[in-house]
Amino acid sequence: TTFTDEARIALDTLSSRASSIFQSPSLRLGVTGLSRAGKTVFISALVHNLIHGGRLPLFDAQKSGRIARAFLEEQPDDAVPRFQYEDHVAALVDDRTWPDSTRAISELRLTIEFESASGWNRMFSSGRLSVDIVDYPGEWLLDLPLLGKSYSEFSRDAFELATLPVRTALSEDWRRVADTADPASDADEMVARRLAESFTAYLRACKLDERALSTLPPGRFLMPGDLDGSPALTFAPLPRLADGRARSGSLQAMMERRYEAYKAHVVKPFFREHITRLDRQIVLIDAMQALNAGAGAVADLERALTEILACFRPGRGNIVTDIFSRRIDRILITATKADHLHHESHDRLQAIVRRLADRAITRADFSGALVDVLAMSAVRATREGTVKQGRETLPVIMGVPLKGETIDGETFDGKTETAIFPGDLPANLDSIFEDGDRQLAPPIRFVRFRPPKLERDAAGLKLSLPHIRLDRALQFLIGDRLA
Ligand code: GDP
């Protein structure tokens, strides 16, 4: 049976390769970022603008009128949930609320019919490109280093990190619970559950902390997808581990087995089935939140970005690309939500992201793919204006703050347009990248706005979602494939 099974799989692979040659060309675009970075909003806005012929002057194929149409098609992977584009757009456009965020992997196929710019390309191109957009939590990427770690190394590293000054208070409850556990005692499901729950509560507290500490592995503890409650997720680091092999039937042996199951059944398949098949990748970051939380949070974001980039490192020494030959050839690192700033600060935000990315690229020892950075807003919820204060004219942004948001003691009703002076990003980047927990002075004044009301064209039809520099992102990510 094993032989025939394997032969059948090999034949299947061959025949699917053969049939893919006759299908229209496709490109797999990964969209990732830590939770709430803006993945769902980005994908919804990108697809909406392409389907509805949005204003995209920096996206060459659209600007030169070479796109005949863009439409959704059935996705190629039947076992992956579909990205619920229609629900998300209904929330954004009809209800003017933000859609539900990414909680697990999902996929959407957008097909573009176009005319190539050059006569040569027109002769050979099919004039169709299917973009398979794969949305997944960045937290899951942070699991890659676990593949190279044993359970005892994982435990030791977890305790070391938990006792760093920024995390001691947050990890206190978990460490107390862990301290009562005896690795040599008999395995007990309830003990395992209590430890896993308290470890997860500590990871969650780091995430919710106002210093915006980035996530620690295992990534599924905070973003379980459909694995919530399964044994592969019911483990935790233990103190005082016995050297060598743990006694069979002990708590340590049970935890060790589950940790290995997590790697084998969760981490490896995710990389094998999804990450290694990507052609292009966009990484979204919430730089503004980190900037507002101070230098410590910026350093933390940089650490997460370094680890994320290491996952896409081509060539030797990368567990993923060592096994599989396909590689990502373009990566875009993007700070989204630039509509919270006046346009005068957009270039500064971009310079900050560039610096973050450059340092992360050096640290991750990453090179090979084309990498670019961008400050943008997938959905622009504000417009710009000026307000006179005495003799001064201040640049402001105007939008409808979400109901319940507050600034300077004022609470908003979710209906009234309000002018806000957001402040400027620092011109001196060095101050941001110093170590320590220093605050930016003064911080950016930040409220969450409602999605914008869509304008209508002369015929009364609603226009596509407004954005800032979404067209630049599109040009970098897929422009060359439509040339
Ligand atoms: P995900 O967890 O990465 O999928 O994050 P979402 O796409 O759900 O975005 C999280 C939140 O960030 C949203 O609910 C919005 O409040 C905000 N957000 C995301 N993108 C934008 C944007 O382009 N402009 C503005 N103003 N807010 C955004």
User: Which residue has its alpha carbon closest to ligand 1 atom 8?
Assistant: 101
Percent of the chain residues past pLDDT 90, beyond the cut:
56
Per-residue pLDDT of 150-188, as tens digits, reads 999 999 999 998 998 888 999 999 999 999 999 999 999
Confidence label for 324 from pLDDT (cuts 50, 70 and 90)? very low
Task: Report pLDDT for 465.
Answer: 93
The minimum-distance atom of ligand 1 relative to the CA of 40 is 7
User: Which residue has its alpha carbon closest to ligand 1 atom 21?
Assistant: 337
User: Which residue has its alpha carbon closest to ligand 1 atom 24?
Assistant: 337
Task: Report pLDDT for 455.
Answer: 83
User: Which residue has its alpha carbon closest to ligand 1 atom 7?
Assistant: 38
Cα 201 from Cα 238, distance rounded (Å): 16
pLDDT at residue 240 is higher than 50: yes
Ligand 1, CB cutoff 6 Å, lining residues: 33, 35-41, 98, 101-102, 336-337, 339, 377-379, 381, 448-449
Per-residue pLDDT of 58-91, as tens digits, reads 999 999 999 999 999 999 999 999 999 999 999 9
The minimum-distance atom of ligand 1 relative to the CA of 336 is 23
Class of domain 20-136+274-379+470-482: alpha beta
Going from the Cα of 293 to the center of ligand 1, the distance in angstroms, rounded, reads: 18
User: Which residue has its alpha carbon closest to ligand 1 atom 17?
Assistant: 38
Task: Report pLDDT for 310.
Answer: 84
Confidence label for 312 from pLDDT (cuts 50, 70 and 90)? confident
Going from the Cα of 102 to the center of ligand 1, the distance in angstroms, rounded, reads: 10
Per-residue pLDDT of 82-98, as tens digits, reads 999 999 999 999 999 99
Task: Report pLDDT for 318.
Answer: 52
Phi-psi region of 179 (alpha: psi -120 to 50; beta: other; left: phi over 0): alpha
pLDDT at residue 316 is higher than 60: no
Q: What is the mean pLDDT of residues 452-475?
A: 88
Q: What is the mean pLDDT of residues 425-446?
A: 69
Question: In the chain, which segments carry CATH 3.40.50.300?
Answer: 20-136+274-379+470-482
Task: Report pLDDT for 325.
Answer: 47
Going from the Cα of 461 to the center of ligand 1, the distance in angstroms, rounded, reads: 25
Going from the Cα of 260 to the center of ligand 1, the distance in angstroms, rounded, reads: 35
Report the residue among 98, 308, 346 best suited for mutation to probe ligand 1: largest number of ligand atoms under 8 A from its CB.
98
Going from the Cα of 41 to the center of ligand 1, the distance in angstroms, rounded, reads: 5
Q: What is the mean pLDDT of residues 269-274?
A: 89
Contact status, residue 433 vs residue 362, Cβ threshold 8 Å: no
Per-residue pLDDT of 344-357, as tens digits, reads 889 999 999 999 88
The minimum-distance atom of ligand 1 relative to the CA of 380 is 24
Task: Report pLDDT for 69.
Answer: 95
Cα 205 from Cα 219, distance rounded (Å): 14
Task: Report pLDDT for 160.
Answer: 92
Task: Report pLDDT for 17.
Answer: 55
pLDDT at residue 462 is higher than 80: no
As a whole number, the mean pLDDT across the chain is 87
Q: Is the pTM of this model over 0.95?
A: no
ipTM above 0.90, yes or no: yes
Going from the Cα of 139 to the center of ligand 1, the distance in angstroms, rounded, reads: 17
Going from the Cα of 40 to the center of ligand 1, the distance in angstroms, rounded, reads: 7
Going from the Cα of 330 to the center of ligand 1, the distance in angstroms, rounded, reads: 23
